[in-house]
A and B are shown apart, each in its own frame.
Chain A
C-alpha cells in the first residue's frame, strides 16, 4: 500500500513529492452495503492503473521496451502525478466553499482517494492514498505543515523554491511512517 504526497505552491508548482510505502496492512474493504458509500471503491478497480501503466510500451517491436516508469505498486509516475493534478480541479472548487484546511477524501480516482490540506498561505498538500485513515492523515498533514513552516522560515526560501532539505525529507518520512 503506497501513499503519494505532493506539496504544491499557490500557483500549483510542485515543490516536493514523496512516495511512502506503508508497512501497515491494507485495511479490508468496509462492510458491503454500507448505506452511504459505494462498495466497489477499493477492490474492483484496483487493477485500473496497473493496466494503464503498461500502456506506454507501445506496439513497435524493434523499440526498446519498458517506457513505463514503474513505481512501487506498479504505478506509473506520470499517472500518479496526473491524478494529483486532476484532483486540483475539485480541491479548488471545495476551497471556495469550505474554510477547513483539511479536506478529507476530497476526490477519488479509481482506487485512489485524494486528501488535501490547504495552508493559510494557499499551499496545497495533496495525498493520494488507498484506504481511509482520517485521523492518521490529519496528523500527518499537520506534521508536514509544521515542517513546511519551519522550512519557510529560511529567508531565501520562496513559495516557488523546491524543497530539497534532507532534514525536511527525513522528518516527513518519519511522520509518514508514524501516521500512515
Chain B
C-alpha cells in the first residue's frame, strides 16, 4: 500500500473550458468546472502498477484541477515576485483570522490537537499552490482537459477550436501531458442524446480515445446544496489584473470560511464521479504508468553497470548512444512517440525564447521520479531520487517522505534546506517559500508519531526551514515546532521556539497570535520538568524543591514584550501587572555576569529603567482611563524597599549627638557601678514619653538600577494588644513625608516622626507609600524571628520564633529630666584650662527627682562645684611643703553623685517644673575628646528604677604650654638637680606661672633658682632649677616605699604565674608636696585640686599601662599597679592669663629620680626558670612572652647604679712653686642614691694616667699618697674621699684617672646581717668630663 502523499504531490490537471460551458455552468449556479471536479478528489480505491507490474492499491488518490488560462497567466509572473506575494498573502490571511482562532483556542484548549488553525491555514495555503515551478515538476500539468458543452452552436467546431488553441506556457514548463476531451451534455441541450452520441463518436474518431461524454441533468431550479471538501486557497493574481476578476477571489476567500457546497443533483454527482474515476483509471494512470516504464528503460540503461563504467570512455569509442536522454526532454524519443504529445509545443516554445533563465523543462529523470512517486512505486522512486540527489539535482526534499525513519533522513532534510539557503545571507522569498513547501510536505507526508519521534525529530526540520526569515510563515513553522516539542515533552525547547516565533510575528504586526505564543512560552518556561533527584538531595541542601530560581533574564525577556503588546492592544490591567512583575531586582549570576572583557561592554546596561518607564506610562494611562478610584488589589510590588533589620527607633535624647558607643559605655559603667549598690535597674533608653516626638528610622533601599520616587511615605501604627490596625490612629500622630527620590541602588535612612498623646504600647507594623506616586504599597516591618533549635523537632524541621515587631513603649513622663548646657556653643579651651561650666536641669516630669548622678567620660577631668571653690587658695597657710595622703589607687571611672543643686529651695531634690543649675569645672586635659558627653542618671528616691538623659557639648582644645624636665645627680647638697623647662607654645597668650608644685612619695624639691615673675610670652621658654633631696621625714616613707614595691612585685608575680588577681588595694602612701610660689600658695588638699591631681595622674598612668601591657585586661589594672611609684616626681604648673581671666594647671608626670634595683628580678627569673608549659597556640606563647618583656622593662624593674661620684671641680689652688711642687687636695664625693639599698665602694686612683686627655689645655693628673679608698654607704648617704694631686708646675689639671667599683647589697634591716651583693657596677670618668683643678703659681717673679 502506498503512503498517503501530500496533495501537492498529486497529478495536476489543467482544464480549458469553452465559453459555452462556462455560461452553462454559471446558469446552473455551478462553480467553474475545475472546482466541480476538484470536489471529487481524492478518489478512493485506485490501483496502480509498478514497472514490475505489481499492483499497488491506493486508499485515496488525489488530483488537482485548475483552469488552464489561470495557470498560463501565473507562469508569466516572475517567480521571485510571486513568492513574495505568496508570503504576504499568507501573512495577511493569518492576520485576518488569527484573533478568532486564538479566542477559540483559549476558550476550549485542546491539549491533544496536533494541528492548530494557523498551521492548517499555512498548510492549505502552501499546498494549494498549483503554478509550475522552475525547479520541480510537481505542478507541471500532467493532463489538459478540453471541455465543451453541447449547448454550443456547433460543438464540434468548439472542440476543434480548443484543440487548435496554442498553449501559452513558458519554455521551462514540461509539455509531457496528454490531452483529454470532455463533452458535457446537459439535459436542456439543443442536441438530443443521439446527436450527442454522434458528436462523441466523431470526436473520438478525430482526436483519439481520450474523450468522454458527460451527460448532466442540471435541473433548472438548482437542487439543494451538497457539502463537498473545501477548496485549497489560492494566491489571487497580481494587483494589476485583480480588478477584472477580483470578485471570484473574494468569494473564494469566503467559501473557505463557510462550508463549501455544490448545488448538483444526485444523479449528476454520480455521473461526474464516474467520469472522474474513468478519467483517472482508464486514461491518466495508464498513461503515467507507460511514461514511467519508458523513462525507466532510459534511466536503467544509463545506470547499468557497463554503461556507468564506460560512460567516460564512450566518447573515445565514438558511441552514438545518447547520454543526455535524461536531461533533455524535448529530444526524448519516447515522449515523441506518446500518443497525445502537444502539437502546439513547438509554437509555444518559439514564443517564449525571450525568457532568459532555465529555459529547459524538468529533466526526464526527475519526471520519472515524480511520476513513480505519484503512482506509489516507492522503490523505483526512491532509487531515482537517490541518484538525483547524488548528482546534486534535488531529491533530498522528497526522500524523507519515502524513506523509513532512520538517522539519514534528517541529513536529507538538512541537505534539501542547505541547497536553498547556502547561496546568500539575505534569504530570497522564493527560497523561503520553497523551504516552507518542503516543511509542509514533510509534516503532512510523514506520520505524526514518526515525524516527532526520536529518530527524525521533525520539529527541528521545521525550525531549520524557518531559517532566518522574518515572515509570518517562518514564525508559524517555529510555532508548530514548539508545539510538537511541547508534546514530546521538551517544554524548555518549546518555550524557546515559541519565543522566537513570537518575536518574528511581532515584527509582522500579528498581535493576537504573538501574544498567544508569548503566553505559551511563558507558561512552558514556568513549567519545570520532573527531576530524577533524590528527595534527600533537597533535604541535605536545606532547600525546598519548589524554591527554584532559573535563568534570571528569561522571564523578563518574555514578559516585557508581552506586556507591551497587551498595552498596545488595550489590555491595560494585564500590561500593568506584567510590567510590575518585571521590576524585580536583578540577581547577577556570579561575578562573571557583570564584567566582560570587552572594553565597551563593561557592564550590562540595566533594563530596570525601561521596565520602570513602561510601568509608569502604562499605570498612569490605566489610572487616567479607568478613573482614580479603580484599584487593583492584587497589584503588589515584587520587591521591598525597607531594610527590616536596620529599622531603629530614635528618641529625642538619642539625638543629642555623640557616638552611640560612648553612650553605651557610660551606661555600662553606670550598671557596673550600681551593681554593688542596689538592684534598681536603669531603664534602657527605649521608651518614648507622652506628647514627645520620637522617630522611626527606616532604611529604604532601592533595589532597582533606576531612579524611583515614592510619595506619601508614612507608617501604620497600632496598639500592641489590639488587632485593629487603626486602633492607634486617634491618639498617635504619624508624619507623612510627601516625596522621596531614591537614586539607582541607593540606600537612605528616612526618619518618620511619631507623637502619642497617651501612654501605651505601640507596634509600628507597616510602612506605606505610593510607588512612583501611583501605586499605593504597604510593607510589613516585622522581621522573622530567630531559627529555633531548642527541641529535636525544631532542629529537624525548620521553625522560627514569632515575628519581631517594631515596638515602642510610650509612658507618662512622670520622671523626666531635661538637661542642657547653659551655653551650647562649642567650648574653646586652652590645654590645661580649668573652665567652669553651668548645666541647666529642668524637671519635665511630674514627680520630684532626688537622686541624680552624673557620668562623664573616662578621660574627662570634671569637678562638681563652682569656679570659686575650685580656685580657692590658702593665703594664711604659708608652708612650702605639705603632706598629701593618697590611697595610691588608680582612680576608676565612677559616676559622680550630684548632691547639691543651685537655685533650688531644697537642694537635694528637684520639684516638677523646677529648674536648677549644676556647676562643674572641666579641666581640659591633654587627651580630652572633642566633646564633653555627660550622662545623667536620675530617679525620685531609693528603690525606684533609674532613668537617664544625655547632654553633650563640643570642646576644642588648643595647646598652651609645653613642659619637660631633665634631672642629673646634684653636686651640691641635694641628691638630684631637676631642670624644668616650660615653653609657651601658643601664639598670643602671655602666661603667668603662679605656682609650681612637685608631688612625690620620696623627694622634697626646693627651688635653686627663682620662680619667674614675668609672664611667659608667646614661644618663650623658661627654666626652673629644683634641688631634690630625700625627705627629712624619711623613716615612714621608706617603709611606705618598700610596701608599695612589695605590693607591685607580688601582683606582677601573680600575673606572671598566671594566678588570679586578688582585688586588693595597694597600701596608701603619703606624698610630699613642695610648693614654689611668688604669692599665695594653693594647697593640694583643696577638694578640686585633689580631684584633678588624682584624675590627672590616673589618666596618664592608665594610658601608659594600656600601652605597655596590652595583654593585661584594663579593668584589673587598679588591682595590680599602684598610682604612684616610689621614685616618681610629678610637677604641676599653675598658670593664669590675667587679661583673659583664664587659669589652669599643667601636669608633668614622667620624672623618676633615684636608683632602682631590679625589684622584679627574682620573680622574672622565677617565671623564666619555671618549666614552660607549652601551649598549643603560638599566639598564647607570644602573648606570655610579651607580658614578661613588658614587665621586665617596666618602671618597677628599673636597675641603675646607685652610687654617684662628684669630683670637687673648678677649684683654684695657689701655690708658690718656688718652694717646690704642690700637693693639692682633691675631694671625691661618693653618694648612694638608693633609697633602700646600701652599697660598698672601692675608689682607685691611678698615679699616672695614660689615657688621652680631652684637650691640650688640661694637664694629666698625678695622684699621690693614698690611692685606694673603700667604704660602705647606707641608703641616701655620701662620703668624701680626699686624695692628693701632685703637681710640679702650674696649670689646669684634669681630674680623671679614677675608677669606682660599686657593690649593691641586698636590702636588709639588720645592721649585722651578712653582706650579700646584689649588683656590681664599675664607673670611670665620662668621656668629655671636664672636671679640673687649677693650680696657679704665686711665686714672686
- Is B557's CB within 8 Å of the partner chain A? yes
Question: Please, which residues of chain A bring their CB within 8 A of the CB of B1186?
Answer: none
| Contact B551 A85, beta carbon cutoff 8 Å | yes
Question: Please, which residues of chain A bring their CB within 8 A of the CB of B414?
Answer: 38, 40
Question: Please, which residues of chain A bring their CB within 8 A of the CB of B1198?
Answer: none
Cα A39 to Cα B419 in complex, Å, equals 9
Of B468, B567, B596, the contact of A48 (CB 8 Å cutoff):
B468
Q: Which residue of A lies closest to B410 (CB)?
A: A38
Interface string of A76-87 (1 = CB under 8 A from B): 111101111111
Interface string of B520-537 (1 = CB under 8 A from A): 000001001101010001
Interface centre among A16, A20, A89 (most CB of B within 10 A): A89
> How far is the CB of B585 from the nearest CB of chain A, in Å?
14
Of B415, B507, B601, B607, the contact of A55 (CB 8 Å cutoff):
B507
| Contact A44 B604, beta carbon cutoff 8 Å | no
- Is B470's CB within 8 Å of the partner chain A? yes
Interface SS of chain A: mixed
Cα A164 to Cα B1068 in complex, Å, equals 63
| Contact A85 B495, beta carbon cutoff 8 Å | yes
Question: Please, which residues of chain B bring their CB within 8 A of the CB of A44?
Answer: 418, 421-422, 425, 467-468
| Contact A64 B610, beta carbon cutoff 8 Å | yes
Question: Please, which residues of chain A bring their CB within 8 A of the CB of B418?
Answer: 38-40, 44
| Contact A81 B553, beta carbon cutoff 8 Å | yes
- Is B417's CB within 8 Å of the partner chain A? yes
Interface hits, B367-426 → A, CB 8 Å: 411, 414-415, 417-418, 421-422, 425
| Contact B422 A40, beta carbon cutoff 8 Å | yes
Stretch from B157-165, B542-550, B1300-1308 contacting the other chain? B542-550
Cα A67 to Cα B525 in complex, Å, equals 20
- Assuming the contacts A55-B506, A89-B493, A158-B541, asked whether A36 and B411 have C-beta atoms less than 8 A apart, the reply is yes
- Is B554's CB within 8 Å of the partner chain A? yes
Interface string of B985-1018 (1 = CB under 8 A from A): 0000000000000000000000000000000000
| Contact B490 A89, beta carbon cutoff 8 Å | yes
| Contact A47 B425, beta carbon cutoff 8 Å | yes
- Is B234's CB within 8 Å of the partner chain A? no
> How far is the CB of A100 from the nearest CB of chain B, in Å?
18
Stretch from B558-566, B801-809, B1111-1119 contacting the other chain? B558-566
Interface string of B478-496 (1 = CB under 8 A from A): 0000000100001111011
Cα A157 to Cα B542 in complex, Å, equals 12
Question: Please, which residues of chain B bring their CB within 8 A of the CB of A87?
Answer: 493
- Assuming the contacts A52-B503, A58-B568, A78-B553, asked whether A164 and B492 have C-beta atoms less than 8 A apart, the reply is no
- Assuming the contacts A81-B553, A85-B550, A164-B590, asked whether A40 and B421 have C-beta atoms less than 8 A apart, the reply is yes
- Is A154's CB within 8 Å of the partner chain B? no
Q: Which residue of A lies closest to B505 (CB)?
A: A55
> How far is the CB of A106 from the nearest CB of chain B, in Å?
13
Cα A64 to Cα B485 in complex, Å, equals 35
- Is B678's CB within 8 Å of the partner chain A? no
- Is B593's CB within 8 Å of the partner chain A? yes
Question: Please, which residues of chain A bring their CB within 8 A of the CB of B531?
Answer: 10-12
> How far is the CB of B1103 from the nearest CB of chain A, in Å?
42
Question: Please, which residues of chain B bring their CB within 8 A of the CB of A83?
Answer: 496
Cα A49 to Cα B470 in complex, Å, equals 11
> How far is the CB of B521 from the nearest CB of chain A, in Å?
9
Question: Please, which residues of chain B bring their CB within 8 A of the CB of A59?
Answer: 506, 509, 564, 568
- Assuming the contacts A39-B418, A76-B557, A85-B550, asked whether A19 and B596 have C-beta atoms less than 8 A apart, the reply is yes
Interface hits, A99-117 → B, CB 8 Å: 109-110
Q: Which residue of A lies closest to B596 (CB)?
A: A19
Interface hits, A119-145 → B, CB 8 Å: 122
| Contact A109 B425, beta carbon cutoff 8 Å | no
Question: Please, which residues of chain A bring their CB within 8 A of the CB of B792?
Answer: none
Question: Please, which residues of chain B bring their CB within 8 A of the CB of A1?
Answer: none
> How far is the CB of B481 from the nearest CB of chain A, in Å?
12
- Is A152's CB within 8 Å of the partner chain B? no
Cα A117 to Cα B490 in complex, Å, equals 20
| Contact B541 A16, beta carbon cutoff 8 Å | no
- Assuming the contacts A44-B421, A69-B607, asked whether A17 and B590 have C-beta atoms less than 8 A apart, the reply is yes
Interface hits, B1191-1235 → A, CB 8 Å: none
Question: Please, which residues of chain B bring their CB within 8 A of the CB of A78?
Answer: 551, 553-554, 556-558
- Assuming the contacts A40-B422, A64-B609, A85-B492, asked whether A159 and B553 have C-beta atoms less than 8 A apart, the reply is no
- Is A160's CB within 8 Å of the partner chain B? yes
- Is A146's CB within 8 Å of the partner chain B? no
- Assuming the contacts A13-B549, A45-B468, A60-B568, asked whether A81 and B415 have C-beta atoms less than 8 A apart, the reply is no
> How far is the CB of A179 from the nearest CB of chain B, in Å?
15
- Assuming the contacts A11-B531, A40-B417, A69-B605, asked whether A86 and B590 have C-beta atoms less than 8 A apart, the reply is no
| Contact B550 A13, beta carbon cutoff 8 Å | yes
Of A11, A14, A58, A71, the contact of B589 (CB 8 Å cutoff):
A14
Q: Which residue of A lies closest to B474 (CB)?
A: A48
Question: Please, which residues of chain B bring their CB within 8 A of the CB of A11?
Answer: 531, 533, 537, 545, 548
| Contact A72 B596, beta carbon cutoff 8 Å | yes
- Assuming the contacts A32-B422, A40-B417, A40-B422, asked whether A86 and B503 have C-beta atoms less than 8 A apart, the reply is no
- Assuming the contacts A40-B414, A45-B467, asked whether A63 and B617 have C-beta atoms less than 8 A apart, the reply is yes
> How far is the CB of B764 from the nearest CB of chain A, in Å?
34
- Is A172's CB within 8 Å of the partner chain B? yes
- Is A62's CB within 8 Å of the partner chain B? yes
Interface centre among B492, B552, B614 (most CB of A within 10 A): B492
- Is B638's CB within 8 Å of the partner chain A? no
Interface string of B578-601 (1 = CB under 8 A from A): 000000000101111100111001
Interface hits, A1-41 → B, CB 8 Å: 5-7, 10-21, 32, 36, 38-40
Interface centre among A17, A162, A169 (most CB of B within 10 A): A17
Cα A47 to Cα B421 in complex, Å, equals 13
Question: Please, which residues of chain A bring their CB within 8 A of the CB of B558?
Answer: 78
| Contact B568 A15, beta carbon cutoff 8 Å | no
Interface hits, B270-322 → A, CB 8 Å: none
Question: Please, which residues of chain A bring their CB within 8 A of the CB of B502?
Answer: 55
Q: Which residue of A lies closest to B564 (CB)?
A: A58
- Is B778's CB within 8 Å of the partner chain A? no
Question: Please, which residues of chain A bring their CB within 8 A of the CB of B937?
Answer: none
| Contact B614 A63, beta carbon cutoff 8 Å | yes
Question: Please, which residues of chain B bring their CB within 8 A of the CB of A20?
Answer: 597
- Assuming the contacts A47-B468, A56-B557, asked whether A160 and B589 have C-beta atoms less than 8 A apart, the reply is no
- Is B266's CB within 8 Å of the partner chain A? no
Q: Which residue of B lies closest to A67 (CB)?
A: B610
- Assuming the contacts A40-B422, A58-B565, asked whether A64 and B591 have C-beta atoms less than 8 A apart, the reply is no
> How far is the CB of A102 from the nearest CB of chain B, in Å?
21
Question: Please, which residues of chain B bring their CB within 8 A of the CB of A67?
Answer: 560-561, 564, 607, 610
| Contact A86 B425, beta carbon cutoff 8 Å | no
| Contact B597 A77, beta carbon cutoff 8 Å | no
| Contact A60 B468, beta carbon cutoff 8 Å | no
- Is B439's CB within 8 Å of the partner chain A? no
> How far is the CB of A145 from the nearest CB of chain B, in Å?
16
Question: Please, which residues of chain A bring their CB within 8 A of the CB of B614?
Answer: 63-64
Q: Which residue of A lies closest to B592 (CB)?
A: A18
- Assuming the contacts A52-B503, A71-B604, asked whether A85 and B525 have C-beta atoms less than 8 A apart, the reply is yes
- Is B7's CB within 8 Å of the partner chain A? no
- Is B86's CB within 8 Å of the partner chain A? no
Residue contacts A-B, CB under 8 angstroms, 5 given: A11-B548, A32-B422, A55-B561, A84-B551, A92-B529
Q: Which residues in A have some Cβ–Cβ distance to B below 8 Å?
A: 5-7, 10-21, 32, 36, 38-40, 43-48, 51-52, 55-56, 58-60, 62-64, 66-67, 69-72, 76-79, 81-90, 92, 109-110, 122, 158-160, 162-166, 169, 172-173
Task: Beyond the given A45-B468, A51-B468, A82-B496, please list 16 additional residue pairs across the A-B interface where CB-CB is below 8 A.
Answer: A6-B589, A7-B590, A11-B531, A14-B549, A19-B596, A39-B418, A44-B418, A48-B500, A63-B617, A64-B610, A77-B557, A77-B604, A87-B493, A90-B493, A109-B496, A158-B542
* 5 closest Cβ pairs, A-B complex: A78-B557, A38-B414, A55-B503, A81-B551, A16-B590
